[in-house]
Amino acid sequence: MRRDLTALEGVEFDLVVIGGGIFGACAAWDAAQRGLSVALIERSDFGAATSANSYKVVHGGIRYLQHGDVARVRASSAERRALLGMAPHLVRPLPIVVPTYGSGMRGRLALRTGLALYDALTPDRNRGITDRTSQIPSARMLTRSETIALFPGLDSERLTGSGVFADGQLRNPPRLVLAIVRSAAALGATPANYVEATGLLRRGSKVVGVEARDVFSGASFEIRARVVLNAAGPYAEAFLQRALDLPLKPPGSYSRDVCFVVPKPWVHPTHALAVQGRTRDPDAILSRGERHLFVSPWRDSTLIGTWHRVHTGDPDRLEVTEAELATFVAEVNGAYAGLDLSLDDISMVNFGLVPFGQNPEGAAHLRYGHRSRVVDHGPMHGVDNLISLIGVRFTTGRREAERAVDLVYSKLDASKPGAAAPRSRTMETPVAGGEIPDWQVLLDALEADHSPSVSRDDLLHLAQSYGTEAPAVMALARPGDGDDRPAHAPALLGAQIRYAVQEEMAMTLADLIFRRTDLGTARHPGRAVLEACARRLGDVLGHPASRMEREIAEVEDSFLLRSPGRPQP
């Protein structure tokens, strides 16, 4: 997958997708799979914004039982199943422990009943998943002593036990987005990162393409298409306003969602813990009280969240202050005193914008966004062949993209009323690297074929990052790659950098550190690692040392933004 902007000019695509997050990536993949010619442009890097900063849980819909929304329970379970099946190296089951206290809604009977109902509503949660390690187990109850053994720091007063259910967990969200983009490219789509949509081309009432700008050179050009899909997430409305002076009605409401990383295993190594925070869900018909916060093992770290705050300003001007973090830490310690966290324990803060519910100003108990928006601007604004997709949750990216592409077909087939769109096959199709019917078989094959210099831990890391494409990464190793390699850097760092450039359209050091590898996703890897990566990446891309120094400074600035009040190594 190479960045070739000349391939975007001089042709008319069936569809151009604006926005390379999970929703735009899935739309490009779905459309290409159905036979459309597709261009996908992203003003930054694929999966670099909201998609990279989620809590990394693939929700199976259990929370919607509280709303009595059986349809969303079923739909979410199906999307979790799809993600577990299409990318088993990047999405794995995560058991979550929910403590019970006393009687009533927080007691064992209420939770047991809810979990049993959830299992009954999702009997097909593992349909088509052959590898048992990727399957979602049935919920179960634990005794008081079993619960304390898992989480000895829990407040044991009135504790009666717990229930355990499982959801999916994303190992590295940007790599999943990238795998979907690569799958679209393999089917003929033309993706390009660092291409900004600056406007829309119109012919009368119809949109006929996109005005675009190369972020690196500043050069402007046109991309012509029969239909344009605006999938820019929290930036979609501002783009519509800027390009066509079109307001969405009603205007969207957005939340700055926050979670943070503690760079060591802080709780049980395989089970997450749900604890009750300080806010309630005003839409819940049945409620256990305050909303849950989650403390989850994630890779070799711990992920804690999520907090929400309505954001009404510029999507590009997000921040989390040290005072806010201190409030979050106090709330977690109040819910689970055994953690005894401090600000100094936090290595990285993740935050991004997601669509939210409508809330009165100053509300403490916030309504979440329930539905994604797929907007046909023909009926709404009299602008034909323009669609906007603003998705609510990472989990639903594939499903909402399918809805959007169905609408795209209705535009393309306007001359054939009633013509059916080809069926989407993304539900049952593995992404690039995801063709893994048995996880252990893949690991055994890698171990049998590996170089003696590559440890079992390094092989596991490659498998978890690249899936069946791990051998292709290993094949790019060169003699001398280990020379001057900093401590804690991956053994196959040189091979990963070559692969990132040659196959994954890595263009900057930030792409490499934050999205093509795990190096900067949980903590600052150290200045020596940044400098080593910059040298190697500059050699592969042919960039001068002066440019790579600037890119190191940009990466350092990103770490400072994500680590308020914390000095970097």
pLDDT of 10 above 80? yes
Is residue 441 assigned to a domain?
no
**In the prediction, which pLDDT does 252 show?**
86
Tokens 């890097």 sit on residue: 45
pLDDT of 495 above 70? yes
d(CA 490, CA 293): 33
Average pLDDT over residues 355-364: 64
Q: Give the tens place of pLDDT for each residue, 510-540.
A: 999 999 999 999 999 999 999 999 999 999 9
Q: Helix crossing, 493-504 with 527-541: angle to 10°?
A: 50
- How many residues comprise the chain? 569
Band of pLDDT at residue 284, cut at 50, 70 and 90: low
Q: What percent of the chain clears pLDDT 70, i.e. is strictly above it? A: 94
**In the prediction, which pLDDT does 159 show?**
94
Band of pLDDT at residue 471, cut at 50, 70 and 90: very high
Average pLDDT over residues 240-249: 91
**Among 282-286, 309-313, 428-432, the least confident range:** 282-286
190, amino acid identity: T
Band of pLDDT at residue 75, cut at 50, 70 and 90: very high
Same domain, 317 and 288: yes
390 by DSSP, 3-state: which? strand
Peptide bond just before 279 cis, omega within 30 deg: no
Band of pLDDT at residue 357, cut at 50, 70 and 90: low
Same domain, 158 and 278: yes
Same domain, 199 and 124: no
d(CA 180, CA 68): 33
Band of pLDDT at residue 311, cut at 50, 70 and 90: confident
Is residue 55 assigned to a domain?
no
430 compared with 155, residue with greater pLDDT:
430
Same domain, 85 and 161: yes
Average pLDDT over residues 116-136: 96
d(CA 213, CA 128): 43
Domain CATH code at residue 24: 3.50.50.60
Is residue 471 assigned to a domain?
no
pLDDT of 210 above 60? yes
**In the prediction, which pLDDT does 298 show?**
96
526 compared with 364, residue with greater pLDDT:
526
32 compared with 367, residue with greater pLDDT:
32
Is residue 125 assigned to a domain?
yes
Same domain, 392 and 243: yes
Residue 221 near residue 5, CB atoms below 8 Å? yes
CB atoms within 10 A of CB 232: 27
Same domain, 275 and 339: yes
Is residue 376 assigned to a domain?
yes
Q: Give the tens place of pLDDT for each residue, 320-342.
A: 999 999 999 999 999 988 889 99
3-state DSSP of 211-253: EEEECCCCCEEEEEEEEEEECCHHHHHHHHHHHHCCCCCCCCC
pLDDT of 419 above 80? no
d(CA 73, CA 92): 19
Domain boundary among 295, 330, 355: 355
Q: Give the tens place of pLDDT for each residue, 373-399.
A: 899 999 989 999 999 999 988 999 999
Band of pLDDT at residue 368, cut at 50, 70 and 90: low
Is residue 470 assigned to a domain?
no
Band of pLDDT at residue 314, cut at 50, 70 and 90: confident
pLDDT of 189 above 90? yes
Can you give the residue range of the structural domain that contains 480? 476-562
* Best CA proximity match to 469, nearest among 81, 179, 137, 172: 179
Average pLDDT over residues 227-231: 98
Split into its structural domains, the chain has a count of: 3
User: Residue 512 gets which letter from DSSP?
Assistant: I
Which residues are CB-contacts of 485 (< 8 A; sequence separation ≥ 6)?
491, 493, 532
**In the prediction, which pLDDT does 569 show?**
59
Q: Give the tens place of pLDDT for each residue, 258-279.
A: 999 999 888 899 999 999 887 7
Residue 162 near residue 99, CB atoms below 8 Å? yes
d(CA 258, CA 348): 11
Q: How many helices (H) and strands (E) does the chain have?
A: 16, 17
Average pLDDT over residues 206-217: 98
> Which burial class, exposed, middle or buried, applies to 419 when counting CB atoms under 10 A from its CB (0-12, 13-18, 19+)?
exposed
Same domain, 346 and 262: yes
pLDDT of 249 above 60? yes
474 by DSSP, 3-state: which? helix
d(CA 179, CA 499): 13
Domain CATH code at residue 76: 3.30.9.10
**In the prediction, which pLDDT does 267 show?**
84
Band of pLDDT at residue 282, cut at 50, 70 and 90: low
Same domain, 241 and 258: no
Same domain, 182 and 157: no
Torsion of CA 155, 159, 161, 166, to 10 degrees: -50
pLDDT of 240 above 90? yes
**φ/ψ (deg, to 5) at 218:** 85, -5
Mean model confidence pLDDT for the chain:
92
Band of pLDDT at residue 166, cut at 50, 70 and 90: very high
Same domain, 247 and 258: no
Same domain, 110 and 154: yes
Same domain, 200 and 84: no
Is residue 31 assigned to a domain?
yes
230 compared with 454, residue with greater pLDDT:
230
Is residue 103 assigned to a domain?
yes
Domain boundary among 316, 331, 355: 355
